[in-house]
Structure 1
Amino acid sequence: MANPHAQGGQTSPGFGAIVLAAYKPDRSLFRIQLESIARQTHGDFLCLVTADGGLGEVEELVREIVPGDTRFKVIGFDERLGFYRNFERGLTFVPETAEWVALSDQDDYWYEDKLSKLLPHLADHVLVSGQARVVSDDGEVLEAWTGRTNASFLNLFVQNQFTGGLLVFRRSLLDNALPFPRMDSPSELHDHWLAVCAYALGSVRIVDELVQDYIQHGNNVVGEAVKGLHPIQSYRRARELARRYEGSPTVASILRLTNSLSFGWRRVMADALAQRLPSSNARVFQATTAFGKRHAWGPLWHVFASGLRNGTISVPVALTYAVGGLVEVLRRG
């Protein structure tokens, strides 16, 4: 990486970019987030606040919260794309001079040493994440530790361990990660794609450092996952998503949706890696063998067996794949 600075025996990158996706931000939570970014002990950055509509309101809030701080720049758009494509859009504005990139939600709270703790790890890894506390918007600690876990490449393909607002990564990742792969599905997640792409290019790491509070409230687009089995809640959610994405809440629609949520999104990521990276890349071969259009069942079930055994794939996720597999078998003929 360019212009490294010595820090505790590691190399620490200098200038970077923070991409913060904003959509109708809550004024008080937005203030907490922007002020926490402004107070970072590693202060050599440009924060690109990408407004997914409502440009005037976002610009006014940024001027009010961090007056005169030229590190904050608002990029506004009239067309609302949703968080996945809004992050993608924001990443296209990252300057080429940046050595690293961090992602930010609009309603969390970064500890002041977050960047100082995570950035040195980019000397050895393409993408890095820390851990977070899960806190309600009234300050109650819901979980003291998110417990993200380092997983093998294929286990990560199945179950994402990375949360966007916790990520930092080398700017060079964008050369292969953009544009984001497309799939009209709720499983289309920017953090999952970035982590998978980074792992295919080198290595990723989750470090056991608390670096922020992940604030849960009624308007979270993607909240912290509910742990454990919740059959009734899961069925109701499946009906709701089937109605939205498949046009009806029938059993057949739910099965198609479940296949999309499991095999479909992984197939999209595997195909994107195969198109963008050399065919000699061993992880591309692993991904397409387990999740590509003509995947083999043997390697796939081995992935699930290893993930269930070491705890990097949960039982609810495995059950989702089991249901989606019914459609996969029919699709394959």
Structure 2
Amino acid sequence: MRFDSTTFGVVALAAYQPDWELFRTQLRSIQNQTHSQFQCLITADGSFAEIRDFVDRELGGDERFRVLGFEERLGFYGNFERVLQHVPAEAAWIALSDQDDSWYPSKLEVLLPHLNNVSLVAGQARVVRLPGNEVVTESTQRKNVDLDALLAQNQVTGSLCVFRRELLDLALPFPRLNTISQVHDHWLAVCAEATGGALVVDDVVQDYVQHGGNVLGEVGGRKSIVKSFEHVTALSRKFQGSSSPLAMLRTANDLSFGWRRVMADALRERVPAGTPGLEGGVAAFETGHGWLPTSRALVSGLRSGDVALPCFVEFVAGVPVELFTKGRETSRRRSSKARSSQVS
């Protein structure tokens, strides 16, 4: 299939208690795309009727826009999974959308042709801060990296990417880890890189809007070490119920090794053995990983700039729990082997 101006696809938008003014801007920026062959599926994670009525009122009954409502709240990770589960079979491509950005009119037209060569393509964004639309940075400056570096630190922002529909055959259902580090775009990016390829281009295709309601904060910047510490502290209180040193170490492990292990193990299970690049990509982070490939991936990534210093520090903070976990795994294997020997 050729991806061009006639290729039909789906814009998948996950909505939850949107800022109505920002939501209006985003909806109209999608409606005004120069590539018009799409359906926009909006999954309302609560407040279905309110969101449906708003969309109908603002877009004048544009039949390309459809709101799906559900009683069960899933959060942003589950809500994106849910909207992807409802993509119709005839869609050739999928573009992810947040509820509070602003796409440039040619975004789809610019990105779609790249899908003739790769499974997923992502552009860049100009980051603006509210109130006042202050420009934080002219470009998010995401980059192309190998699978191991992409597992270590995500370079693909969901709202900036478009991918082939068949990627869903690999990506669904999403793997699970009960922490905010489980994010849909990181998982989709490594799925693409492990199979048909992921490409990051330099084109700035939208404004990414920072405001007080962002779930994950700025998309383009790299947190300082102080901000990383504050981030881990807040998440530790939320997911561990405490900000004690032990709780924070567990949280740091979930944020670093834990989420990467979940993704690497899922890739190992779902991607055919012998796929080029798979072995070297997942070896650093899968269950039972050796420390040599892990150290190589992180240190070389830090030196090349593919892994930012705060991300590297999060991995370092996660090492104690990782060592303890691996020690317990080794003990269990030895005990199991000893019992087997006694039986035989």
Of stretches 106-115 and 308-317 in structure 1, the one that deviates more from structure 2 is: 308-317
- SS for the counterpart of 1:268 is helix
The equivalent residue for 1:84 is: 77
The CA RMSD measured in Å over matched residues stands at: 1.4
Structure 2 CA distance for partners of 1:313 and 1:13, relative to 1, 3 Å: farther
Separation of aligned partners in 1, 2:119 and 2:282: 21
TM-score, normalised via structure 2 length: 0.91
Separation of aligned partners in 1, 2:39 and 2:21: 22
Per-residue displacement from partner, 1:87-145 (whole Å, max 9, x unpaired)? 00000111111110000000000000000000000001100011100012332211111
Confirm or deny: 8 A CA contact 2:6 2:37 kept in the other structure.
Answer: no
Per-residue displacement from partner, 1:54-95 (whole Å, max 9, x unpaired)? 001100110111112100000011111100010000001111
Separation of aligned partners in 2, 1:63 and 1:101: 22
Displacement after TM superposition at 1:287 (Å): 3.8
Structure 2 CA distance for partners of 1:307 and 1:13, relative to 1, 3 Å: farther
The equivalent residue for 1:198 is: 192
Residue identity matched to 2:89:
E
Q: Note the residue ranges of structure 1 that are not aligned, 5 or more in a row.
A: 6-10
The equivalent residue for 1:331 is: 325
Separation of aligned partners in 1, 2:148 and 2:207: 29
Structure 2 CA distance for partners of 1:245 and 1:108, relative to 1, 3 Å: same
Residue identity matched to 1:98:
A
The equivalent residue for 1:101 is: 94
The equivalent residue for 1:163 is: 157
- Give 1:20-39 correspondences, 5 Å limit: 20-39=13-32
Displacement after TM superposition at 1:230 (Å): 3.5
Confirm or deny: 8 A CA contact 2:5 2:37 kept in the other structure.
Answer: no
The equivalent residue for 1:266 is: 260
Separation of aligned partners in 2, 1:96 and 1:322: 44
- Give 1:238-317 correspondences, 5 Å limit: 238-317=232-311
Separation of aligned partners in 2, 1:230 and 1:298: 25
| % identical equivalent positions | 50
Instruction: State which of 27, 43, 68 in structure 1 corresponds to 2:61.
Output: 68
Confirm or deny: 8 A CA contact 2:156 2:185 kept in the other structure.
Answer: yes
The equivalent residue for 1:174 is: 168
- Give 1:99-248 correspondences, 5 Å limit: 99-137=92-130, 138-224=132-218, 226-227=221-222, 229-231=224-226, 233-248=227-242
Per-residue displacement from partner, 1:265-300 (whole Å, max 9, x unpaired)? 011001111221212224332244211111011111
Residue identity matched to 1:43:
S
Per-residue displacement from partner, 1:27-64 (whole Å, max 9, x unpaired)? 11111000000000000000001100100110011011
Confirm or deny: 8 A CA contact 1:13 1:120 kept in the other structure.
Answer: no
The equivalent residue for 1:322 is: 316
Structure 1 runs of 4+ off > 6 angstroms? none
Residue identity matched to 1:106:
Q
Separation of aligned partners in 1, 2:17 and 2:236: 27
Confirm or deny: 8 A CA contact 1:13 1:119 kept in the other structure.
Answer: no
- SS for the counterpart of 1:210 is strand
Displacement after TM superposition at 1:228 (Å): 5.0
Q: Which has the larger radius of gyration?
A: 2
Displacement after TM superposition at 1:12 (Å): 5.7
Residue identity matched to 2:224:
L
Instruction: State which of 50, 53, 57 in structure 1 corresponds to 2:50.
Output: 57
Q: Note the residue ranges of structure 2 that are not aligned, 5 or more in a row.
A: 328-344
TM-score, normalised via structure 1 length: 0.94
Separation of aligned partners in 1, 2:292 and 2:229: 29
Separation of aligned partners in 2, 1:243 and 1:308: 29
Aligned residues: 325
